[in-house]
């Protein structure tokens, strides 16, 4: 799954929000990996512990904390990077320390990258005779973070984490249509000239409590704010007005300003009952408060082969494409890990959650009848059997859900990619899924193997429906007028499908030889179906994917070298009736990307450790685009080098 069907967290707290686009994948841009210690991946549904949006899994970014040291201490890291893609550079630095009951860490990072080059070549119906610059593919951003902890005593502690992220001119990237052999009739530019994201989290942790209610408790209060400006510049060639007429055109320039504030709390407790039961339970609640404004200027140029030769019509629109709204959610959950036998573990859990969306007063909007309220009860049951010390078998069944976002339900206006018009659907219902997993996991000191078969059925799956000309003609006159003025090539509405089914298999293997060589990889095969009267395709991201790697790192750990390969199989574009075809064509081609990397610890003296790393990505300089960037063709960078120097003390 992709988009809002994957829940993105930072330290167990939500980064997803109800104002984001469904498939744009922009949420991960709010996190800085220089401040991350690890990424926890939860595959499959996880709504019991994490609620809405966890149908396809969870990515939990775990932030860095002060390094444990004896007594009073002080240390830190500094790193400089240079990369040939966009001719950019970045740097980061952090310091941490502890003093009696207090610990701290503060850090900052900065990046400045220009537009990168895509290589010449062929990708589907796209043919590039020469290397081209991908406009708006650079970014300038910076991040500050700080963590401050206080140990009240051996059992109780408090921690405050503050972070602030800002980015300038982060775009979706585009290739100048005139450089394409058969350039499209629409020129689309999507850019975030300004984006800010700040977050504050206060955490109480209690351990070793040994009271009747809990052995450990973790409570987090958080507030975050995302302010962003989104600019769309869309040029549409509407063709000649008559035989022999020159092409007329429409230029639509829009500016959206969104200010979204989120307040939330998550409390979780763990209680052990003997040696057989581990009970985890808690509560979670959050509230998104979205305020946004939209302003657009549409310039229509009508061209004639006779005087006046051109007539220019300029119109302005200051009505927001979505109303101001609040999205509130609260839930309770409990999960028990039970060991009825020494080799058998059974994990079962339940969660009840209520979600409410309320449309607030917005200029130009009648918000009556736009509110939404729903609730869900979901559960999960997993059994794991240790067949032998190195081999486990598991089977799991789980239900999950996803509440519709504000954008899916209430957006009414030109779509962000500029060629369509979306009408709101206040009757949109929440998605609900049923999921089966069966797997085997083998692991010993030098080898591992895992295979998982999965199937997920999503009831009321939210899909983009393309309206027929007859359905458009039946719309209210004011809605038809908006569509006509936008010169949209298609009209869409988010609707609930009867059922979506995704099934497949995942296989991963790895082996480490005694000489320091490690070989491994993983393979995924995915198939999607949509069950409704027309049974259109689901628009999967790929049909199959293979990742392989070879890494050599001697036991000394002083240096390492690695080769990586990723292959995506070809996939039908899966357009539904009325959907325009991607410029890439009816088939998303297969592609294979190769990379090599290596690193060495130069020396260590006076408590300073010096390390360098070098990576060459897209080694064969192949032209390709990821699925999410195929609809308006944003190719990836050609062969490029990244080098870094790291100092640790």
What are 514-564's pLDDT values in tens digits? 999 999 999 999 998 888 766 665 666 678 999 999 999 998 889 999 999
pTM for the structure as a whole:
0.90
Looking at the DSSP bridge assignments, the partners of residue 171 are: 191
Token pair, residue 343, equals 């080799």
List the single range of 50-59, 132-141, 268-277, 481-490 with lowest mean pLDDT: 481-490
Phi, psi of 65 (to 5 degrees): -130, 165
Residue 533: per-residue pLDDT: 66
Whether 25 shows a pLDDT value over 60: the answer reads no
To the nearest 10°, report the CA torsion of 311, 316, 321, 326. 170
- Rounded to the nearest 5 percent, the helix, strand and coil shares of the chain are 5, 60, 30
Which whole number is the average pLDDT over 131-156? 93
**359 and 384 in contact (C-beta within 8 Å)?**
no
Instruction: Give percent above pLDDT 90 in the chain.
Output: 68
Residue 269: per-residue pLDDT: 97
Q: Would you place residue 140 in the very low, low, confident or very high pLDDT band (cuts 50, 70, 90)?
A: very high
Whether 592 shows a pLDDT value over 70: the answer reads yes
Which whole number is the average pLDDT over 301-310? 93
Q: Distance between CA 557 and CA 421 in Å, rounded?
A: 56
Mapping DSSP to helix (H, G, I), strand (E, B) and coil, where does residue 199 land?
strand
| pLDDT per residue as tens digits for the range 329-351 | 999 999 999 999 999 999 999 99
Residue 539: per-residue pLDDT: 61
Q: How many CB atoms lie within 10 A of CB 346?
A: 15
Whether 512 shows a pLDDT value over 80: the answer reads yes
Which whole number is the average pLDDT over 313-338? 94
Q: Please tell me which residue, 332 or 625, carries the higher pLDDT value.
A: 332
Phi, psi of 458 (to 5 degrees): -110, 110
Q: In Å, how far are 101, 204, 303, 573 from 68, measured between CA atoms? A: 12, 19, 71, 51
Token pair, residue 182, equals 């058969």
Residue 420: per-residue pLDDT: 85
Residue 604: per-residue pLDDT: 82
Q: Would you place residue 188 in the very low, low, confident or very high pLDDT band (cuts 50, 70, 90)?
A: confident
Residue 369: per-residue pLDDT: 93
Whether 249 shows a pLDDT value over 60: the answer reads yes
Residue 577: per-residue pLDDT: 67
List the single range of 114-128, 353-367, 570-584 with lowest mean pLDDT: 570-584
**638 and 613 in contact (C-beta within 8 Å)?**
no
Instruction: Give the DSSP per-residue string, 280-294.
Output: EEEEEEEEEEEEEEE
Q: In Å, how far are 326, 377, 496 from 403, measured between CA atoms? A: 13, 13, 12
Residue 523: per-residue pLDDT: 97
Q: Distance between CA 3 and CA 405 in Å, rounded?
A: 12
Among candidates 434, 498, 433, which has minimal Cα distance to 463? 498
**215 and 208 in contact (C-beta within 8 Å)?**
yes
Q: In Å, how far are 161, 167, 192, 433 from 228, measured between CA atoms? A: 22, 9, 7, 32
Q: In Å, how far are 9, 22, 262, 461 from 17, measured between CA atoms? A: 11, 10, 8, 19
| pLDDT per residue as tens digits for the range 77-109 | 999 999 999 999 999 999 999 888 899 999 999
List the single range of 96-100, 115-119, 299-303, 329-333 with lowest mean pLDDT: 96-100
List the single range of 65-74, 287-296, 448-457 with lowest mean pLDDT: 65-74
Which whole number is the average pLDDT over 347-375? 95
Q: What is the mean pLDDT of the chain?
A: 90
What pairing do the DSSP bridges indicate for beta strands 559-568 and 517-531?
A: unpaired
Whether 22 shows a pLDDT value over 60: the answer reads no
Q: Would you place residue 174 in the very low, low, confident or very high pLDDT band (cuts 50, 70, 90)?
A: confident
Q: Distance between CA 269 and CA 206 in Å, rounded?
A: 9
Q: Distance between CA 270 and CA 213 in Å, rounded?
A: 9
Q: Please tell me which residue, 441 or 463, carries the higher pLDDT value.
A: 441
Residue 451: per-residue pLDDT: 98
| pLDDT per residue as tens digits for the range 203-215 | 999 999 888 999 9
| pLDDT per residue as tens digits for the range 195-242 | 999 999 999 999 998 889 999 999 999 999 999 898 988 888 888 999
**524 and 547 in contact (C-beta within 8 Å)?**
no
Residue 140 region, left (φ>0) first, then alpha (ψ -120 to 50), else beta?
beta
Residue 631: per-residue pLDDT: 66
Residue 326: per-residue pLDDT: 95
């Amino acid at each position: 799954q992709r988009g809002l069907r994957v829940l993105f967290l930072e330290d167990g707290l939500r980064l997803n929000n109800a104002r984001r686009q469904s498939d744009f994948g922009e949420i991960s841009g709010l996190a800085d990996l220089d401040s991350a210690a690890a990424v926890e991946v939860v595959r499959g549904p996880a709504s019991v512990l994490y609620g809405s949006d966890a149908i396809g899994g969870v990515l939990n970014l775990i932030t860095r904390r002060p390094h444990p040291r004896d007594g009073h201490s002080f240390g830190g890291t500094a790193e400089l990077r240079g990369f040939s893609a966009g001719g950019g550079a970045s740097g980061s630095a952090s310091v941490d320390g502890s003093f009696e009951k207090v610990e701290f860490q503060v850090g900052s990072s900065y990046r400045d990258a220009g537009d990168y080059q895509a290589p010449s070549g062929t990708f589907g119906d796209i043919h590039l005779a020469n290397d081209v610059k991908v406009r708006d593919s650079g970014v300038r951003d910076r991040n500050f973070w700080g963590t401050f902890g206080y140990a009240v005593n051996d059992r109780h502690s408090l921690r405050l984490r503050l972070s602030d992220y800002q980015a300038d001119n982060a775009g979706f990237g585009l290739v100048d249509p005139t450089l394409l052999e058969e350039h499209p009739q629409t020129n689309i530019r999507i850019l975030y000239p300004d984006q800010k994201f700040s977050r504050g989290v206060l955490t109480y942790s209690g351990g070793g409590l040994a009271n009747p209610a809990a052995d450990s408790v973790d409570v987090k209060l958080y507030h975050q704010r995302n302010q962003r400006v989104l600019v769309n510049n869309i040029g549409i060639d509407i063709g000649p007005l008559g035989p022999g007429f020159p092409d007329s055109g429409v230029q639509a320039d829009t500016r959206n300003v969104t200010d979204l504030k989120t307040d939330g709390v998550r409390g979780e407790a763990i209680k052990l009952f003997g040696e057989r039961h581990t009970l985890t339970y808690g509560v979670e609640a959050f509230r998104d408060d979205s305020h946004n404004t939209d302003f657009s200027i549409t310039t229509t140029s009508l061209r004639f082969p006779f005087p006046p030769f051109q007539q220019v019509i300029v119109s302005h629109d200051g009505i927001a494409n979505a109303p101001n709204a609040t999205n509130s959610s609260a839930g309770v959950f409990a999960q028990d890990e039970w060991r009825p036998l020494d080799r058998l573990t059974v994990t079962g859990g339940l969660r009840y959650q209520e979600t409410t969306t309320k449309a607030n007063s917005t200029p130009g909007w009648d918000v009556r009848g736009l509110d939404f309220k729903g609730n869900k009860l979901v559960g999960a049951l997993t059994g794991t059997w240790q067949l032998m010390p190195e081999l486990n078998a598991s089977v799991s069944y789980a239900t999950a859900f996803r509440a519709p976002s504000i954008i899916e339900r209430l957006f009414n206006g030109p779509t962000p990619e500029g060629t369509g018009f979306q009408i709101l659907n206040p009757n949109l219902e929440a998605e609900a899924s049923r999921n089966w997993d069966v797997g085997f996991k083998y692991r010993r000191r030098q080898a591992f193997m895992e295979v998982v078969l999965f199937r997920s059925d999503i009831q009321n799956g939210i899909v983009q429906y393309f309206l027929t000309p007859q359905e458009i003609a039946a719309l209210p006159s004011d809605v038809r007028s908006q569509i006509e003025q936008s010169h949209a090539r298609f009209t869409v509405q988010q609707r609930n499908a009867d059922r979506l089914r995704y099934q497949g298999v995942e296989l991963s293997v790895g082996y480490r030889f005694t000489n320091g060589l490690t070989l491994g990889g993983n393979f995924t095969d995915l198939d999607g179906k949509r069950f409704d009267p027309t049974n259109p395709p689901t628009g999967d991201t790929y049909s199959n994917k293979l990742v392989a790697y070879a890494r050599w790192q001697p036991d000394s750990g002083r240096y390492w070298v690695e080769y990586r390969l990723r292959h995506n199989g070809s996939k039908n574009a899966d357009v539904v009736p009325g959907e325009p075809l991607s410029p890439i064509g009816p088939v998303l081609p297969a592609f294979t990307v190769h990379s090599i990397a290596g690193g060495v610890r130069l020396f260590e003296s006076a408590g300073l450790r010096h390390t360098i790393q070098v990576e060459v990505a897209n080694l064969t300089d192949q032209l390709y685009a990821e699925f999410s960037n195929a609809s308006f063709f944003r190719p990836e960078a050609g062969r490029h080098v990244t080098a870094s120097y790291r100092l640790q003390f």
